[in-house]
Each structure stands twice: as C-alpha cells, then as structure tokens.
Amino acid sequence: MKVALGADHAGYALKEAIKVHLQQYAEITYEDVGTFDETSVDYPDIAIPLAQKVATGTYQRGIIVCGTGIGVAIAANKVSGIRAAPCRESFTAKMSRLHNNINILTLGARATGEGLAMDIVTTFLFTEYEGERHQRRLDKIENIE
C-alpha cells in the first residue's frame, strides 16, 4: 500500500513520528509531501495537493496532520473522490474505513497523543471497507461531486 503523508507546522512532529511507525510494515511505502519543518505554513497548501495524489490513485491512502485535524479534513474533502475524516480514537477510524471507505485520515496533533495516534493510524491502514449496503450511500455522495 502506498500512503501519502503530510502536515502543517502544528502537525510536523506527529507526522515525523508516524513515519517511524510506518517503517515497521514492509507492505507500506510512503511519501512525505511536507511540510518539512515547523515553519508556519497554510494547511490547504499541504492538504489539497496530497488529496489530489490520493484522488488520482497515485497513493491508495493519505494521512494529514494539523493542530486539530479539522482544517485539513475540510480542505482535503474539497477534492473530488476524497473522503477524509478526523479521527480522535481507534473506533472512529475503524468505522470510517468499514462503512465510509475513507481514503484520508486526518489527525490533530494538539488533540491526540502520540501513542493513540499510532493506534489510529494502524487501524486506518489495516481496516478494509465492507462495501455492500454502504456502497449505495457512497454512490449518492459521489453523484453530487
């Protein structure tokens, strides 16, 4: 699985920790699309290009970190084909994959501790979409894109 990683300045440190976490999984490769330090950057400048890479299929999934996970989710969801959700615990990450087939996880570095964030990331990456009755709901959403 190919994963795109990104963060604004508030999420930079957590993004770096996620990179270390992902190295334990041989089946996952990732690209860091920025930011590359804690210098202030506008989150849409990271979230939108990352979402476009996921939407075109260059990457199967994306993970974006900002202070709350909300701003990057809003920005990423403006890209057609993206289903991004901020997840603050593993249950939401699991259900977001099972029922909503999210392709971008957003995290809040100021709202989620590192250990919990790694559990959420793992859940997001290794939970498969159930499809079936859920697909007709996603089709309705896609019809307005």
Residues designated catalytic: 66, 99
**Sheet order of strands, 29-32 included:** 29-32, 2-7, 61-66, 104-108, 84-86
CA-based angle 138:142:143, to the nearest 5? Answer: 120
State the Cα–Cα distance between residues 86 and 96, nearest whole angstrom.
9
